Structure 1
Amino acid sequence: MNIIALEALTFGLGRLAAASRKHGCSLTLFTRDKTVYDYELSLLDEQNIKVVEIDTFDDHAVVEMIRNEKDVVALLSSTDTWSLHCLDVSKSLGLPAQNADAVRIARDKYQLRNRLYEAGLSSAKSQLVDPRKFDNESVIKDISYPCIVKDTAGTGSQNVWIAYDKEDLLQTLDKAAQEVLRGQIAIEPFFSGTLYSLETLSWKGETRVIALTSRITSQEPYFREEAFSSPVTINHSISAALEVWIDNVLKSIGYGNGFAHTEFMITDTGFEVIEINPRLGGVQIGEALCQSLDINIYEAWIEMALNKRPALMDVPLNIHKGIGQLIIYATETGEFSHIEGLDRLSAHPGSPRFYPTAYSGKSISTIVDQRASIGILLAEGETSEVALLNVFAARNKIRVVMKG
């Protein structure tokens, strides 16, 4: 049995390949740029994964290539960018897939906000605007400030802006008109609260919370993700309320199968969804949970592909340790050279480990979002709080060096 991964998260291929072998399957990665996975592929034996380089945005080419593969039983997509392509290709080939309507709503931040509002699960609505053609008076009417202006299909903290007043909003829309967008532009309320994410797994309409992750972002006006820790433990009553709430949220969009990564805020008036990603969390959230729970949670991908109830829906989730992680960014634009000081991490508490995301020579064109990422630094601790402190302390020992 052959399982095709239509691209993947940067990290996790090794875990996914191990899960495939355990269940008697082979794993084939379709990718337009295998250098994205250099770190993971360098650790994998060629017998454990087959790599096919192809334009993965070309659905027709992907369909024809899959028809040339033997014994294909499922097509997986663990990354936002290809989630809709995966649906279309699966439909063309008659392969099992997630609820297409639910995935499309999750990937459209405008639709998602308004669906939640209609279900009584958000306090405000979203509105669409064409940044290249709009009427000033109609756009600014009934807007509460500050507000968020965002790409409805955005990812990686790209094309998200905050506007503090009318003039700021109009200037932001002018700026958005100059950007390359994945979707349309939506204007949403700015929620004031503490940011978290929930990792959940759903199977046939039943949802289980796997973990709560803390999230630290950069100072306004940017929303660059900086640090994470998991699993976070909170007051039992809040934890119980979150389980009921996320079940209702996912049901409201018809999302009943698969991993979901829901970013949300705890505000003074309740929980507010920021976005829902129809996948496992990115960065190194998957690896963090594997280490923390001492379970290969990627097995759930394979079990669902084989139409089996994932064991992760039922096994005890015993926390063995906390994991903290920091995204290491370039501090200036230019050409990346190397990381200095990695040799000093071996003597630091928490067993810090660096996972590279950039190669020497990578061009850094901006430092305001995740395109400036150089790598991810992980550290452990007896709790997620201690792990986060360990990784911040370890960060002080390394330095990003740019060429020139």
Structure 2
Amino acid sequence: MRLYLLALNPTDSVTEGFLPAAARLGLDVTVLTDQPEAHRRSVAADVEVLECDVRDFRAVITRISTHHAPDAVFTNSDHLQTQAALAADYFGLPAKDWRATLRVKDKAQMRRHLAASGLDAVWSTELSPGQDPVSLLALDVPYPCVVKPREGVASEDVVLVEGPEELVLRCKEIQVRRPQAPLVVEEYLAGELYTLETLGDGNVRHVLSGFHTRLSAPPYFIEERLVYVPHHPEPVLEQVLAQLDALGVGFGVCHTEFVVHDGRARIIEVNYRAIGDQMDLLLRRLLDIPLFEHVLRTHLGQPLPADLGARTEGAAVVDYPCAHGAGTLTAAPAAADLVVDGVELTYRPLRAVGERHGLYHTNRDYIGVLRAVGEDQATVDRVAADYLAAQRWEITP
């Protein structure tokens, strides 16, 4: 059976998760990508890599049509969900609804759809490429508000704004960096930030678990720490699932971010793919199920079992040491795998010593990732904190 996997840059989710899972399932894999050399350096020798303009669904369909017949078309990229859905549908293969993938990728459209459904109304407006942000001053903008690219990811150019003058300034700054990107201005949703991880086959939907997210100090929204939440409270879960149903999300794997304030759950964004930044690798370990294989099976048209047999307890935390200034990384710990007081610690550097970077105010500021897994949250927190306190990261301006 032939799996076509659409990708932009290589990611841990693909190289350590989905490609090994495809091999275990006995699939022949063709990676379609606009960065073929980068993928050829990161994949096994038996994985075929072909160059393709994967942002254009027509190019994807043509590339597949002139190659081997497909049994599944899949992507874990935020940017390519609609292209993969359209290509799969063209070939009569199981796929996400392209309307749903487009609806959740376009943050303004997601807001309009949820408001029309009657489930949640968030004040928001769009700023077109080239539109003068001064035009926003004629609107009744609620402050504080959030400015972000309409189709952005990873908190890139997402910023909290306190007043009109700052709103105009921030929008102009982002327009310089992203002149072709439409922007969204929306009311700030207060509350504690959580995630919900789900997996469905179009008929059955499994709630896998979630995380409680700690963010950096305002005005930016960098995810610095995530604590495992095996079970969300039922009233909260029902609210989030109702909003996902309204958006048409139910096939394959999905990562949803939402806030809870006074018992009310409100979606921040829906990433119609697996949770990233090595969190999906952690989730597989916590649930003790073949997570990546299950995801691929849904795209092969195979139904999910009524019971995944997932482990329902456990404790975990993920910490992302961040750079707090621009410069060259001159000292940092090496990769490590340890067991301390029954807690499994996995540390992986995300920057090499000697690399020079700017300060981005996004997850591109991550210089490493620590995963800690155990049975008791207090012990996991202590062991992770002790490990981080013993390490040293130095950035030379």
User: Equivalent residues in 2 for 1:167-206 (5 A)?
Assistant: 167-180=165-178, 183-206=181-204
| Correspondent of 1:157 among 155, 158, 161 | 155
Name the amino acid aligned to 2:274. L
SS at match of 1:399: coil
Check conservation: 2:230, 2:313, Cα contact below 8 A: no
Q: Deviations over 1:1-36 (max 9, x none)?
A: 111211264335333234324433223333444686
User: Equivalent residues in 2 for 1:333-352 (5 A)?
Assistant: 333-336=326-329, 339-340=332-333, 342=335, 346=338, 348-349=340-341, 350-352=343-345
Aligned equivalent of 1:17: 19
Check conservation: 1:128, 1:184, Cα contact below 8 A: yes
Distance, in Å, in 1 between the alignment partners of 2:353 and 2:133 is 46
Distance, in Å, in 1 between the alignment partners of 2:275 and 2:17 is 14
Change (3 A) 1:303 1:249: same
SS at match of 2:156: coil
Change (3 A) 1:91 1:309: closer
Aligned equivalent of 1:370: 363
- Structure 2, unpaired ranges of 5+: none
Aligned equivalent of 2:298: 304
Distance, in Å, in 2 between the alignment partners of 1:165 and 1:269 is 28
Aligned equivalent of 1:252: 246
Per mean C-alpha deviation after superposition, the further-off stretch among 163-172 and 5-14 is: 5-14
Q: After TM superposition, what 4+ stretches of structure 1 lie above 6 angstroms from structure 2? A: 34-39
Change (3 A) 1:305 1:91: closer
Whether 1:98 aligns to 2:96 is yes
User: Equivalent residues in 2 for 1:216-295 (5 A)?
Assistant: 216-233=214-231, 239-268=233-262, 270-295=264-289
Could you say what the CA RMSD is over the residues aligned between the two structures, in angstroms? 2.9
Distance, in Å, in 2 between the alignment partners of 1:183 and 1:212 is 31
Q: How many residues matched?
A: 394
Q: Deviations over 1:25-57 (max 9, x none)?
A: 223333444686799x4xx7534x444455544
Per mean C-alpha deviation after superposition, the further-off stretch among 266-275 and 202-211 is: 202-211
User: Equivalent residues in 2 for 1:31-50 (5 A)?
Assistant: 31-33=33-35, 41=42, 45-47=44-46, 49-50=47-48
SS at match of 1:245: helix
Aligned equivalent of 2:106: 108
Using structure 1 for the length normalisation, give the TM-score: 0.86
Check conservation: 1:162, 1:221, Cα contact below 8 A: yes
Check conservation: 2:123, 2:186, Cα contact below 8 A: yes
Change (3 A) 1:132 1:393: farther
- Structure 1, unpaired ranges of 5+: none
Using structure 2 for the length normalisation, give the TM-score: 0.87
Change (3 A) 1:127 1:317: same
Identity level (%): 23
Change (3 A) 1:240 1:346: closer
Q: Deviations over 1:126-177 (max 9, x none)?
A: 2112374247465452221101111110101101111112222222222222
SS at match of 1:75: strand
Aligned-residue offset at 1:244: 2.0
Aligned-residue offset at 1:95: 4.3
Distance, in Å, in 2 between the alignment partners of 1:347 and 1:22 is 28
Check conservation: 1:11, 1:37, Cα contact below 8 A: no
SS at match of 1:340: coil
Aligned-residue offset at 1:327: 2.0
SS at match of 2:205: strand
| Correspondent of 2:322 among 329, 347, 357 | 329
Aligned-residue offset at 1:93: 5.0
Distance, in Å, in 1 between the alignment partners of 2:385 and 2:155 is 21
Aligned-residue offset at 1:223: 0.5
Check conservation: 1:205, 1:255, Cα contact below 8 A: no
Check conservation: 1:214, 1:232, Cα contact below 8 A: no
SS at match of 2:256: strand
